[in-house]
Amino acid sequence: MIRGVLEISTKAIPDAIMRRLWAALDEDGSGFLTAGEFGHFMKIGEAELRTIRKDAGLQTTWKQRLHTTRRLEAAALTAKMNKERDAMAGVRPADRHKCKVVAEQFHTKLLKLFPQNPAWYKLFSQMDNDGSGRITYEEMAEMVRRELELGPSQLSEGTLRSVWASLDDDRSGFITAGEFGKFMKLGTPESYQVPMFERRRIASARARASLEMTTAKLAERQMVDSNKLANQYENEVAQLGQELAALRRPLSARVPHPPPARAASARARPAAALPRSFLDAGPLPTSAGPGALKSYP
């Protein structure tokens, strides 16, 4: 680790010193170091380094470094705000009518960006790049030119600056979500200027319709699954019937038939079993031998 990761050469720390250091750390002679033993060793150098950095006027802890970083960021933001505030020093704020016209332009473009829910806070969230809850003129101007696609011919730079000066009435260099929301409400179209109770009713109706649609889809899915299960059961029943029929056929074929009776003489056979020619010829003569029997047709 010392030679590879830390890249400390043998000239800086010879091997002999490394062995003596190991011997000092491994007091019990176990052949290894625990995290506690190594941490105790490292804290010695950390305290020494902190003293050196303090004498040199440098930050010694992570809290001091974080405080310095935040202080620099706050100073940069303050300088940016002051620059924008100075740039708007000679701009005359727009009146209510001009703000209303610009807000209507914003709503027209907003409806194209978010046709399902043209809410102004979505536009503010896109302008708020750093998530600070406030926007600067540069962020607003970039949104107007790029996202809303309002060129200088549709909305001049002077008009946009005057509207900004009207919104930033305290000359803080930025506007909050509340200030931007009041401005956007001036140009809210009448088509979706709905009272609160009506919006709640519409939202409730949408939620109910969504629930009914979800329930219907769930019932349909359950019906499809039930049909599949019923078809599966029917196929299994048919297959079992075929297997049972196949088992029954060999059993019936193996049933033993009664042995055939021994051939009896013509005299002992019943009349119904004799051929018709024998019945018409009458009884055989008693003296007839085998040859006489052959002469009969």
pLDDT tens per residue across span 22-35? 988 888 888 888 88
The dihedrals phi and psi of 269, each to the nearest 5 degrees, come to -70, 145
92 secondary structure, DSSP code: P
Among 163, 160, 164, 162, smallest CA distance to 150 is for: 160
pLDDT tens per residue across span 174-201? 888 888 888 888 888 765 555 566 667 7
Q: Which residue has the higher pLDDT, 221 or 88?
A: 221
* CA distances to 48, 59, 62, 65, 206 from 56, in Å: 13, 9, 17, 15, 67
The rounded mean pLDDT for the chain is 77
What confidence tier does 266 reach under pLDDT thresholds 50, 70, 90?
Answer: very low
Q: What are the residues facing 134 on neighbouring strands?
A: 176
User: Any idea which residue has 């055989």 for tokens?
Assistant: 284
Are 134 and 128 within 8 A, CB to CB? Answer: yes
Mean pLDDT of 204-219: 86
Tokens of 67: 């405080």
Are 152 and 88 within 8 A, CB to CB? Answer: no
Mean pLDDT of 136-164: 87
pLDDT score for 138: 85
Among 82-91, 110-119, 245-254, 277-286, the range with the most confident prediction by mean pLDDT is: 110-119
Are 80 and 136 within 8 A, CB to CB? Answer: yes
pLDDT score for 278: 47
**Helix extents (H) in the chain:** 15-25, 35-55, 62-87, 96-113, 120-127, 137-142, 157-167, 177-186, 196-253, 276-281, 290-294
Q: Give the Cα separation of 279 and 287 in Å (integer).
A: 19
Q: Which residue has the higher pLDDT, 125 or 62?
A: 125
pLDDT score for 256: 56
pLDDT tens per residue across span 93-129? 888 888 999 988 888 888 777 777 778 888 888 888 7
Among 100, 99, 94, 98, smallest CA distance to 189 is for: 100
How many residues in total does the chain contain? 297
